[in-house]
Amino acid sequence: MMIIPSLDFRKGKIVRLYKGNYLEKTDYQESYAHYIENCIKNDIKMMHIVDLDGAKNPNKKQFFLLKDILKDKRMNFQVGGGVRKEKDLEKLFSLGAKRVVLSSVIFEKNIDVKNWIQIYGNDSIVLALDVQIKRYFKEVVVSGWRNYTGISIEDIINEFLENNIKYILCTDISKDGTLTGPNLLLYSELVKKYPSISFQASGGVSSLHDIFNLKKTGVKNIIIGKAFLEKKFTFSEAINVEKNIF
Q: Which residues are catalytic?
A: 8, 130
Dihedral of alpha carbons 33, 75, 246, 177, sign: positive
Closest to 222 measured CA to CA, from 232, 230, 208: 208
Q: What is the CA radius of gyration of the chain?
A: 17
**CB distance 213 to 16 below 8 Å:** no
Cα–Cα distance measured from residue 86 to residue 217, given in angstroms and rounded to the nearest whole number: 34
Closest to 126 measured CA to CA, from 79, 193, 66: 79
Helix, strand or coil for residue 104? Answer: coil
Q: How many helices (H) and strands (E) does the chain have?
A: 11, 12
